[in-house]
A = this chain, B = another copy of it.
Amino acid sequence: MTNFIKLFSGIGIVSLIFMSCQDTNTKKITENDTQAPKYVFLFIGDGMGISHVKLTEAYLHSLTQDKPGFEALSFDTLPITGISTTHANNRLITGSAAAGTAISTGYKTNIGRIGKSPDKTEKYESIAYKFQDQGYKIGIVSSVSINHATPAAFYANQDSRKYYYSIGLDLIDSDFDFFGGGGFHKADSLADKNLYALAEKAGYQIYRETINPDTLNVGEKVMLVNPILGSDAEMPYAIDRAHEGGYSLADITKAGIQQLMNDQGFFMMVEGGKIDWASHENDAATIVHEMTDFDLAVQQALNFYLEHPDECLIIVTSDHETGGLSLGNASGGYDTDFAMLKKQRMSYYRSRKISIDKSFDKSMIEDIYGIDDLSDWELSMLALAKHPQDNPDYHMDYGAYHPYLKTCNKILNLRSGVGFTNWDHTAEPVPVYAIGNSQMLFSGSYDNTDIPKKIMEACGFDY
């Protein structure tokens, strides 16, 4: 009987046949739907896997409902879903530079490159410039610094994501219409070459104090910088906004839409950049707040869609998963209690910042995570974290983070039912959500390099 298996074991052949079927089916369906969208939104949740979406939804549901379930994020109700692979040219687990380049240009490249080929000899053109060539206005928004890898991939061509100054110069040269969110990282690392001053000289109106976005001068080139920035020129975590102040990602997105609105159309990329940061820190409560904040930004586009339903294309996706996040862990087994994440009062990042001079004892987990009934096992984990060098699993347990504070955070994660496998990115696929003109192109499984090609196809641009 094993003979007939051999007959059909040519996975490659069957796959090819179905890839052909896919093309045919997609084309047939999109014949009804060939009008190019005038307003194109691309949202990128940095580090956002499918589990990040569902953890947030389970958390939101748990705040108001006793029965298990999920309260859908707005983008998780869009009619089309796809699944995208994310690997880099030289590593299965990608980074934001290579993944950003894949999504912005359609090319695989090596870890760290921004809009350049693996060997650095070739520049890859971002779809943002293709839109600009066609008369669309362009907006780039990120909750991390505006010359960070993901936003940079849409306007810069540099050998390394670390060349913040050169990336900043590429931003200024882009002549794009709106930049919003974080500021320039290492803005003035070279004494007389302050990036803000150079941007202003190039015609950008720069807002660095809190303003009413209705006063933005439509028609000019604008850079709307969050008035509160962290040490890497990033916006504070959403969970800390009450303490830290500043805009939300939705505030910036709404201001950007106002600034970009025009009859020729616009292309806008909005990155929720700190989903990734909180995921690196395996900080589940901070993740769900970042995710909710990201969704509120997407809602600005969805509100716009309702006013322009025949002229929009909205894509929501991610550059890679971070953390190996799961809804469940070996400590809880089949049990979860995500509502417990609400007890956490601030991000791990902020707890680190404000605790520098404090002694590390049990009061910390009570203050920050609301836990006052530690089990013997939890107490033993905290005791070990005070002498982390005695822990043979140091890297597995603490990563590059503060052992004691990280253990406090981990105890809440474990109790609530969140699991993590990694302090870094993973090669998990990421979800794609779509609505609008030619939305059907985004169904199925594909690679992240296909995303800009699909956007170009939807818009009728040559690729």
Contacts and interface: CB of A to CB of B under 8 A. Distances in A.
Interface stretch (A11-19, A150-158, A352-360, A451-459): A11-19
Contact of A68 (B29, B90, B324, B435): B90
Contacts of A69: 85, 87, 92
A428 B54 contact: yes
Contacts of A21: 79, 309, 435
Interface in A371-402: 377, 380, 392, 395-396, 399
A191 interface: no
A69 to B, nearest CB: 6
Contact of A18 (B68, B74, B419): B74
Interface residues of A, number: 105
A449 to B, nearest CB: 11
Given A72-B15, A302-B18, A324 B334 contact: no
A2 interface: yes
Given A77-B445, A421-B421, A326 B326 contact: yes
Copies per complex? Answer: 2
A77 B85 CA distance: 13
B328 A427 contact: yes
Contact of A5 (B51, B74, B248, B338): B248
Interface in A285-332: 295-296, 299-300, 302-303, 306, 309, 321, 324, 326-331
Given A70-B85, A77-B22, A300-B8, A306 B17 contact: yes
A9 interface: yes
A368 interface: no
A426 B424 CA distance: 21
Interface in A20-40: 21-22, 25-26, 28-29, 32
A426 B419 contact: yes
Given A395-B330, A421-B329, A295 B11 contact: yes
A78 interface: yes
B18 A435 contact: yes
Given A90-B68, A435-B21, A50 B333 contact: no
